[in-house]
Amino acid sequence: MLPMYYLLISMLLIYSSMVNANLVEPADTPANKVAVPIPVLTIKGAIGPAVSHYLTNEINRANNQSGTDTDNNSGSTPPLIIITIDTPGGLVSSLRDINQAILNSDIPIACLVYPPGARAASAGTYILYACHIAAMATTTTLGAATPVSIGNPLPGGGDKKPANPYQPTPDADNKPDTSESSGTEPTSSKPPASPQTTEKTAMEKKVLNDSVAYIRSLAQLRKRNVQWAELAVTEAATLTAVEALDKNVINLIAQSPQHLLQKLDGKVVSIKQQQRLLTLTNSPLELRKPNWRSNFIGTITDPNIAYILMLIGVYGILLEFYSPGIGIAGVAGSISLFIALYAFQLLPLDYVGLALLLLGIALLIAESMSPSVGVFGLGGLVAFTLGSIFLFDTDLPQFQVSIQLIAALAVVSLLFFVFIFGYLWDIRKNKVVSGKEALIGAQATVDTGFIGQGHININGERWSAYSPQKLIAGQVVQINGIDGLTLILLPLTELEVNDASNPQ
């Protein structure tokens, strides 16, 4: 009996160890451990509302990723987010939104200026400073973050009014310092600028100082070169990858996202005043592309698309009012106009340009309704063209309406309003040729005389009729009105009949 007891105890212990081994093995065996994919986001081209929507959504998605997220076959948040940058600059509102998402992220974000030959100019420099880890590939550049001035010279000094502070400047390239190599002061053939052209306006100073303070705060947060960050704004300074590493503007040089992972594996990064060890061994890269919503925003915020949508909306609604039908023009115009308005609130819209554009359309409409020997038409064409040029307040070509498109649509609009709307306006004055209204003013011959209520045949139809005067058979009458289904008749004298049949 005792041996059987020991045998049962032994079997129970063996079974318990097997169960425990099965429970522990998936967690302890490296072969069964699933590596968390690292999201790779891409900035390619100008930074606008679509790029901002794409990056902020993906950063928030990665931070909110939990065990219920089955898209990545992972049960935890990724250890790192990589953003590759190749941009000439962008809009200040979009830049601020992206940087806020980066600064509030609980996951370290590494920004890499990539591929070779790319640049992180203007707004890209601010994003690079905001990232927890800044890296560049060889033959890439950054800098030129001086606020761009646009517009006409303002009285009291300054060249132009300030626009978006984070757009690239025209002369953003590095220039060799001849004074350093020769030991002499550089000479210039340009005459000294007058105080009126060198003195900045109060608004320019505000924009410049705000930009300097913003990039200094980012540099201080990431413990990078604060002095050069200020020069990038005030002097449009630029650096290559090697120079940026030497001046502590970036943390390292990496040739690709995979190379960046290898260099960061085992490194310690500071995030929200806490030190975190990066364990990136065997972590796969997952390229996350913009979703359909980001692509849609990117399409409608193309200034050319938004501009065309606005014109389609205005023309469609006007056509619906001019020539009411089944509503296709009105419905399509309303949808297009609302989409254009949504795009406009995401873009740097110039309301003076919009007002000029609408004034031009109104003048073209006036020309089609009451010809003025071309005064309204010419004025409308000029206002339409100028409004289209000034519609968006930015120096970035990616956020400007194409001049060729403006010229083509200006000519088309002139022809459209003068001829099409003019034709529609003229046909509104034509006599009605169908329906009951077409009977008013028509003449008919009385078959059977009557006074008061009676009947009359017209166009092969028998109508109820009323005449306050006595009518006799063969008398010609004129239909003066319609009351329900009763025609109101008035008799014509013989002279009136002759005049009607023999017009002069």
As averages over each run of 10 residues, the pLDDT of the chain (504 residues) reads 43 48 40 74 92 95 68 68 94 92 95 95 95 96 77 38 44 40 38 46 85 95 95 94 96 95 93 90 91 90 89 82 72 90 85 88 75 71 86 76 86 74 62 61 78 80 82 81 80 55 50
Q: Tell me which H or E stretch contains 453.
A: strand 450-458
Residue 434 pLDDT: 55
* 25 and 67 Cβ atoms separated by less than 8 Å: no
What is the crossing angle of helices 292-300 and 303-322, to 10°?
70
- Nearest Cα neighbor of 356 from 293, 280, 410, 313 is 410
Q: What are phi and psi of 76, to 5 degrees?
A: -150, 170
Residue 377 pLDDT: 74
Residue 100 pLDDT: 96
Contacts of 230 (CB under 8 A, 6+ apart): 212, 215, 216
* 7 and 47 Cβ atoms separated by less than 8 Å: no
Residue 360 pLDDT: 85
Distance, CA of 130 to CA of 153 (rounded, Å): 34
Q: What is the pTM of this model?
A: 0.65
CB atoms within 10 A of CB 349: 18
C-alpha distances (whole Å) from 134 to each of 129, 245, 272 are: 7, 10, 16
Residue 420 pLDDT: 67
